[in-house]
Structure 1
Amino acid sequence: MKNLLDKEIEKIIQSLWDMSDHLYENPELGNQEYQSMQLLADFLKEHDFVVETGTVDLPTAFKAEYNSGKPGPRIAYLAEYDALPGVGHGCGHNLIGTMSTGAGVALSKLVNETGGSIVVLGTPAEETNGAKVAMSEQGTFSDIDAAMIVHPGDVSYESGESLAMDAIQFSYSGKSAHAAASPEKGINALDSVIQLFNGINALRQHVTSDVRIHGVIPEGGQAANVVPDKAIAQFYVRAKNRSYLDEVVRKVKQIAEGAALMTGASLEISNYELSYDNMITNEALSKKFTENLKKTSSYPVLPAKDSYGSIDMGNVSQVVPAIHPYIGMNKPGLIPHTKEFADQTITGDGHQALRDGALSLAMTGYDILTDADLLRTIQEEFEINRMK
């Protein structure tokens, strides 16, 4: 039956390439992807999916479902389609969205025979306030048996780990004064931010090697002869798992409070983006996807690479068995979040990655629908990981 999936992909591949190229040419930032969302949603409607938009109260999110009407597993493919400012689709989300859409459509042509349901979720704003966080918290995956997404890369890698991440803002308020004539009457909020950076730099020696802390000062005063009464620092704080990240964040906040005490400023701490949990790859599901990718692609699939980034798919992996592998665009050393990466998505190699990724996703979904032992192994592994 899997050879039928190849034929179904072939029927729609030109449409998938056209949609991916259209997304490349018309990039939209996170939570602004109205045209991108509509393009994918309309294609799914054309193939008899029931589509609802505005999922979890996000205007550019959607849920598309094809239900066979027969009992069976529910497979979710996750589509991303947000771009990067000034770069466009430098993370290849034009390929991600169309791969998941194509996999869902192809597998839907067989699901009336196998039973079960296919769900394609449109998940906007992965680069900032990822929709998968809200979906994970609000029960979107409560009836899903497995969730999959494939990310383009320079070469192909098995699904691995990602770091948990908190995006924290420290807003200091002081008192303005003439910096030369009456500095004693001022409270320098920028000094608080500087002490915050110094304190965090001292902390780096006393955290594990997986921790990453990096920040900027988006506001630090307007003129050198005016004591700044407002200064803001924003940090990403990352660690290998959520429990240790919480410990590091507690220490960072204590440093921030100490900086306020040192200068006399007041402090407000907030999260300026949603928090991402660490990715827990379901190895049984990953192994099956890798087997299928090796059958569809002529390029090697390398072991999972060390990752120091953070993805909202991590939140999904905490509530349902999930994978987030990478499919190569045949350009080793290609750097993501660059114009060169975006440009590679519309080449022949980029198009081939789209085809191979969509087919591998569809084949893996078919395996879950038809192999009860595989599904049981996936579920048992997920339960073991959840108890750790």
Structure 2
Amino acid sequence: MDSLKEELIKIHNKLCKISDHLYEHPELGDQEYQSMKLLADFLIDHQFNVTTGIAGRETAFKATFESGKPGPVIAYLAEYDALPGVGHGCGHNLIGTMSVGAGVILSKQLTKIGGSVVVLGTPAEETNGAKVPMSEQGVFDSIDLAMIVHPADQSYESGESLAMDAIQFAYFGKTAHAAAAPEQGINALDSVIQLFNGINALREHVPSDVRIHGVISEGGKAANVLPDRAVAQFYVRAKERKVLEDIVAKVKNIAEGAAMMTGATLEISYYELSYDNMVTNQALSKTFTKHLQQITKKPVLPARQSYGSIDMGNVSHVVPAIHPYIGFDQPGLTAHTKEFADMTITETGHQVIADGALALAETGYEVVTTPALFTAVKEEFKKNNLE
């Protein structure tokens, strides 16, 4: 696929400049106005039609290049939100540039082979992932498959992630002087403490893949005043959505019981969007792994056991999808750190952009030009959805 590599060479320096600019000007989720414009303008320069503000998110976009000939619609997903304090400690500056790069590289071949390519700008993966409303509102209805590649210490095949609900428990009591008249008050913080105790007791009776972890975000203002409001926020995770729903129901029962024990009232809400578990399309994953190994000549390790959650999981339930990892060849390098962010602007980081963009583009090219592969991808997705 020398023609694809030639297109990469033409744009690689520009991709590196875009990525470095994102590193130098990090923007938090749903505030990525400059980042979105930088990526969208690059796609516009390469004859993509771009619509911003999709799915009700101001910093989301959809960029489309149509060949005018029939064929699969390939989507690459771009992330570009940063983390507070550490900037692009998860390497989303690389993710965004790899995806727009892959989209441009593949677009240059589509007039010959047919099909279309879409690049979706997906804000706020770290907090309130835009891929969730995109999945719910039909953004993927005209798309055949979706791909994204994430930087990591080493390269790994696309694997699984946990489904997750982000639940807030707000308890309301009655203030009183904690020493002079405690009998006249209702301590909302006591309910939160009983909530934690109940959840800790539940841990003995959940599957091994379940994770429940939370914080007390509000617990009162002064030790001599019974707090009339206390709030806890939890992430509840499980390997499958149906298991998660059963665990969440038990957690909510515990929360109701904690309110009854103290006489407080309870309000339950979701403070972030819910993520579904990631279901990797193996036919598509094997194709990407093959191309990445050929490009880098380095091993791609088996998928890691993941206890995290990603909004790409929601995408994988509506179209065939993969979320592999491309390595810096720095075993043990931890994401969400300044060291990880700094790696993205090195020569190694720039090479990751080239390798990732080319592997994504070559995978898309093979899907478009190999009907048997496209059929296998679609049939596997259909089978998974029926199970």
TM-score scaled by structure 1? 0.99
What is aligned with 2:185? 186
What is aligned with 1:206? 205
SS of residue paired to 2:288: helix
Distance 2:37 2:216 in 1: 37
What is aligned with 1:135? 134
Letter in 2 for 1:163: L
Aligned counterparts, 1:195-344, within 5 A: 195-344=194-343
SS of residue paired to 1:275: coil
SS of residue paired to 2:330: coil
SS of residue paired to 1:158: coil
Q: CA offset at residue 175 of structure 1?
A: 0.2
Letter in 2 for 1:113: K
What is aligned with 2:33? 34
Q: Give the paired residue count.
A: 387
Distance 2:246 2:353 in 1: 40
Q: Which runs of 4+ in 1 moved over 6 A?
A: none
Distance 1:216 1:85 in 2: 18
Letter in 2 for 1:48: Q
SS of residue paired to 2:257: helix
Distance 1:254 1:20 in 2: 47
What percentage of residue pairs aligned between the two structures are identical? 71
Distance 1:131 1:221 in 2: 33
Cα root mean square deviation, aligned? 0.5
Distance 1:213 1:341 in 2: 27
SS of residue paired to 1:301: coil
SS of residue paired to 2:334: coil
Offset from partner CA, 1:198-221 (integer Å, 9 cap, x none): 000000000011001000011000
SS of residue paired to 1:29: coil
Letter in 2 for 1:233: A
What is aligned with 1:174? 173
Q: CA offset at residue 299 of structure 1?
A: 2.1
Please tell me whether residue 54 in structure 1 is matched to residue 53 in structure 2. Answer: yes
Offset from partner CA, 1:100-126 (integer Å, 9 cap, x none): 000000000000001010000000000
Q: CA offset at residue 330 of structure 1?
A: 1.5
Distance 2:234 2:359 in 1: 37
What is aligned with 2:144? 145
Distance 2:275 2:2 in 1: 38
Distance 1:387 1:188 in 2: 49
Q: CA offset at residue 57 of structure 1?
A: 1.5
What is aligned with 2:352? 353
Distance 2:298 2:348 in 1: 11
SS of residue paired to 2:194: helix
Letter in 2 for 1:126: E
What is aligned with 2:119? 120
Q: CA offset at residue 63 of structure 1?
A: 0.2
SS of residue paired to 2:176: coil
SS of residue paired to 1:157: coil
Distance 2:170 2:379 in 1: 45
